[in-house]
Amino acid sequence: MEQVIRLHVVDYLIIALTFLVSIAIGVGFAHRQKDTNNYFKASGRLPSWAIGLSILATLISSVTFLAYPGEGFSSNWIRLVQGLMVPIVLVFIIGVIVPLFRKVIRLSAYEYFEKRFGFLARLYASLAFILTHFSKMGTVFYLLALAISGMVGYNTLTIILFIGIIVIVITMLGGIEAVVWLDVVQGILLIAGGLIALFIIIFSTEGGLPAIWQVAEENGRIGFGPFDLEFVNLTFIVMALNGIFYAIQKYGTDQTIVQRYLTARSDRDAVRASLMGVLLSVPVWALFMFIGTALFAYFKISGDPLPPDMKPDAVFPFFIMTKLPVGIIGLILSALIAAAFSSLDSDLNCLSAICTEDYYMRWRPNSTEKQQMFVSRLFILLAGIGAILVAFFYTRTGGKGVLAIIFTLYAIFSGGIAGMFLLGIFSKRANRQGVYIGIAASVLFTFYALLTSTPIGLEGNERLMLDLGSLNFTHHKYMIGVYSHVVLAVVGYAASLFFKSRPVEDTLTYYGWIKLRKKEALKGGDN
């Protein structure tokens, strides 16, 4: 971005207040963090509305703040379809998933996979979470710093280091309680910032909302198509299938969400919080997508020039810095920072929970609470430093090179998790040996699909990492994730038929939960 604007002192004060409130929340809850039960689960005493807002804030990051307006500016709303699928899926499964996890696991979501399919299944799922979220944190740090640097001119490395230190300190001190209550503040700030920005865009556009809608519709910015029934290009069906498995994986296997279930006072509160988080997330995603649509119409109608070669993701930050009044700029930037905070603090706490529960406690099962608290904070520190280093590497390479290889590897070794979860919940016949074969098949398929569809080399002289000619994977890359889940589920189930299955505990399957509920209902009737 060529035009750099210096902030007014009022904007600096608003941003400083955001940082001070965040630090105060972390320090305020520090005195309660005496054991891991409180540090990671808040001893199960948080209200459902706060957990719901925390889930919302966790699902929304600075990537959403920047990428969704960029998509709305450059295209229609097809990428919103993924989010629209989430509440549809959850209506059918959330009532089983939440009480199941609250009863079956102590802390780690991946404890369920060990009880259902053995240690290797737990290891595969937890490593997938660690690799995915570790890389995600580095991306969030980098994109946030890049946006702020482009808007106000500060050094990108300095921004990454400053925000990284604050997030690490807050999360280390306050535990999950600080994370949740900080998310509440940040979630409200995020929604307020988005609404204020949209209102200003609408009232700054000649003709207002009707004119925005008309221009957007005439230029193909309204709608969720194309609706062609094919998987090579980005179509509605591709995004819908992607969204279905995203919902299953996020709410059934992602520690950042599952850990929230454990902080609630009861099963009912946990279900209510989950539904609240989803039902708020969809309109927030839509809000930021429509901001991009409105920005397209604004610049089309007003004729105001954009800097040459400006990328769509940079249009919203450009509008913020050049069109918004003093004070509002500070508020919007605070919302952008809050979006990053709410994602990063949750990832750090949950990564620490996984490392402590799945690895340290297995190695040192008789360790004291003091030792567990020490390593929990140490894991947060190490994960935070690692994410900062990943973001630093981004600044040197622009996200290319080694990171592309890292992302390819974690994509290969994290495929099929939702498929494994579906087998565990809905199939009594699926067993450990069959699922391990399914995992191997899923990894091999993902490896093949990525290598035969990913180009390497300099622009204009690119070649596929592996060229098999007519056997190359030609469908849209979003379908790789969908197929990996299907491959694991189908192969895992089919392979299970060749091995003897042991009886499965009722608490580990959907059918068992239905049976247990009927028994409880009958007991209630007898009483």
For residue range 459-516, list pLDDT tens digits in order. Answer: 667 788 888 999 999 998 889 989 999 999 999 999 999 999 888 887 888 888 777 7
The residue out of 336, 370, 398 marking a domain boundary is: 398
Query: Residue 51 — pLDDT band, cuts 50, 70, 90?
Result: very high
Show the tokens assigned to 333: 């930037």
Query: Residue 190 — pLDDT band, cuts 50, 70, 90?
Result: confident
Same domain, 393 and 421: no
Same domain, 215 and 299: yes
Same domain, 339 and 470: no
- Classify residue 13: in a domain, yes or no: no
Same domain, 484 and 359: no
pLDDT the model gives residue 511: 82
- Classify residue 7: in a domain, yes or no: no
Q: How far is Cα 326 from Cα 480, in angstroms, rounded to an integer?
A: 46
pLDDT the model gives residue 360: 94
Query: Residue 403 — pLDDT band, cuts 50, 70, 90?
Result: very low
- pLDDT at 48 exceeding the cut of 90: yes
Range of the domain at 224: 44-398
pLDDT the model gives residue 407: 46
Residue type, 93: I
pLDDT the model gives residue 464: 86
pLDDT the model gives residue 525: 56
Degrees to nearest 5, angle at CA 39 with 270 and 374: 155
Same domain, 260 and 194: yes
Same domain, 101 and 210: yes
- Classify residue 404: in a domain, yes or no: no
pLDDT the model gives residue 355: 93
- Classify residue 17: in a domain, yes or no: no
- Classify residue 192: in a domain, yes or no: yes
Q: How many domains does the chain have?
A: 2
Same domain, 174 and 300: yes
* CATH number of the structural domain spanning residue 110: 1.20.1730.10
The residue out of 372, 398, 424 marking a domain boundary is: 398
Judging by beta carbons within 10 Å of its beta carbon (0-12, 13-18, 19+), is residue 118 exposed, middle or buried? Answer: middle
Contact between 285 and 80 (Cβ < 8 Å): yes
The residue out of 398, 423, 453 marking a domain boundary is: 398
Residue-wise pLDDT tens digits, 86-136 = 888 888 788 888 888 898 898 999 999 999 999 999 999 998 888 888 778
- Classify residue 406: in a domain, yes or no: no
User: What is the share, in percent, of the chain residues with pLDDT greater than 70?
Assistant: 94
Contact between 260 and 54 (Cβ < 8 Å): yes
Show the tokens assigned to 407: 């992302």
DSSP label at residue 2: -
pTM to 2 decimals? Answer: 0.89
Judging by beta carbons within 10 Å of its beta carbon (0-12, 13-18, 19+), is residue 455 exposed, middle or buried? Answer: exposed
Residues shown for the chain: 527
pLDDT the model gives residue 454: 83
- Classify residue 26: in a domain, yes or no: no
DSSP-assigned beta bridge partners for residue 455: 464
3-class state of residue 486 by DSSP:
helix
pLDDT the model gives residue 395: 82
Residue-wise pLDDT tens digits, 253-276 = 999 999 999 999 999 999 999 999
Residue-wise pLDDT tens digits, 422-462 = 999 999 999 999 999 999 999 999 989 988 988 876 666 77
Start-to-end C-alpha separation, the chain: 70
- Classify residue 403: in a domain, yes or no: no
Degrees to nearest 5, angle at CA 488 with 483 and 491: 110
